[in-house]
Structure 1
Amino acid sequence: MSSTTGTARHDAAVSQDRTRRSLETKPAFKTTEFIAYVVAVLGVLIASLIVDGNGNGDNGAGGDYFRADRAWFYVVLLTIGYMASRGLAKAGSRDSADA
């Protein structure tokens, strides 16, 4: 009798695990917002590398208009935005308690 009850509990636990896995959102690296985030970060870092006051790629008398500290600040803002978008995606997914 106890083996039947144990089997029923095991089947219910396996069923819950399958339900949980199917209700999760996609992994972060498979989403379009991750690709957009990576492209935007690379764009900001490359732009800060090549932009200066003279417009010719070297640090002349005009000064650097897009300094590294400003570029990293923009990367931090992009990261916050990406994390917020993933949080919203996870908030919209169903949890096992909803079932």
Structure 2
Amino acid sequence: MSSTTTNRTDASVNGTLRRRSTETKAAFKTTEFIAYVVITVAVLIASLVVDGNGNGDNGAGGDYFRADRAWFYVVLLTIGYLVSRGLAKSGSRDHADA
């Protein structure tokens, strides 16, 4: 046996812990999140503004872009965003002290 043995694990270097990092950024720092928020707001504003006859009052034309359809599109956008974040995170690991 040697007289100088160190009880250092692979995780520590010179007595300090090494921190592993992830491959992906936090969700709020990504362009996907910014695009998701902008498009969601745009869909909701469009559903508020658009009507059947194009002049702003509720005439015989009806409402072409109703609230239920707008919220359906928001749900689809949310599903798409969650899938994209899931794919981005699928191959990465979370921060962990080794």
TM-score by length of 2: 0.76
Unaligned runs of 5+ residues in structure 2 are 1-5
Other-structure match for 1:79: 78
Higher strand share: 2
Alpha-carbon distance between aligned partners in 2 of 1:51 and 1:87, rounded to the nearest angstrom: 34
Highest CA radius of gyration, 1 or 2? 2
The structure showing larger relative contact order (alpha-carbon pairs under 8 Å, at least 6 residues apart) is 2
Higher helix share: 1
Unaligned runs of 5+ residues in structure 1 are none
The offset of 1:23, in angstroms, is 2.0
Identity of aligned residues (%): 76
Alpha-carbon distance between aligned partners in 2 of 1:72 and 1:61, rounded to the nearest angstrom: 24
The offset of 1:31, in angstroms, is 0.4
The offset of 1:14, in angstroms, is 3.0
Other-structure match for 1:36: 35
Q: Deviations over 1:46-87 (max 9, x none)?
A: 100000101112222211010000000000000000000000
Alpha-carbon distance between aligned partners in 2 of 1:78 and 1:62, rounded to the nearest angstrom: 28
Alpha-carbon RMSD: 2.4
